[in-house]
Amino acid sequence: MSERITKSMARNIYFGGSLFFFLFLIGLTFDTMGELPKRDNRENITASVALGKKVWEENDCIGCHTLMGEGAYYAPELANVFNRRGKGDEKTFKQFMKVWMSIQPMDKPGRRKMPQFNLSDEEVNGLADFLIWTSRINDNDWPPNIEG
């Protein structure tokens, strides 16, 4: 074997590697698409969950908070806020959300201020349902600790 790579060798390495990684990507895509229905909790999406997602997007909550690690790291992770603040009880969590959203912005020294969005009871309930729904997605135990 020569100690130099010829143009044809380089071309074969390029095309062979490209083909290998393209096929690898296709395989991973099929694997992911097969796993998603088992993990994403889609059968539990209700009109209230959809409303909560709409509220989440319209008020740019992800501009400050993270959800399953995605978003800004300015405010707490909310993928597990249902377990953290509601202790797994939907009624308790919805009451917490109603009170929490109504007392914003809190004026505590050293604490970042969350704006007052003036959400209706229906919107707060939808947001709570959305956060409950996201907490039930199989996200490989993210975040790694209960406080996010």
Six token digits for residue 37: 């229905």
* Per-residue pLDDT tens digits for 87-125: 989 999 999 999 999 999 888 887 788 999 999 999 999
CA dihedral 52, 35, 32, 46 (to 10 degrees): -20
Phi, psi of 120 (to 5 degrees): -75, 165
Q: What is the pLDDT of residues 18-74, one digit of tens each?
A: 999 999 999 999 999 999 898 888 999 999 999 999 999 999 999 999 999 899 988
**Which residues constitute the domain of residue 132?**
42-148
Residues 117 and 46 in one domain: yes
CA 28 – CA 20 distance, rounded (Å): 12
Co-location of 30 and 78 in the same domain:
no
Do 68 and 3 share a structural domain?
A: no
Please indicate, yes or no, whether residues 139 and 111 belong to a single structural domain of this protein.
yes
- At residue 70, the 3 state secondary structure works out as strand
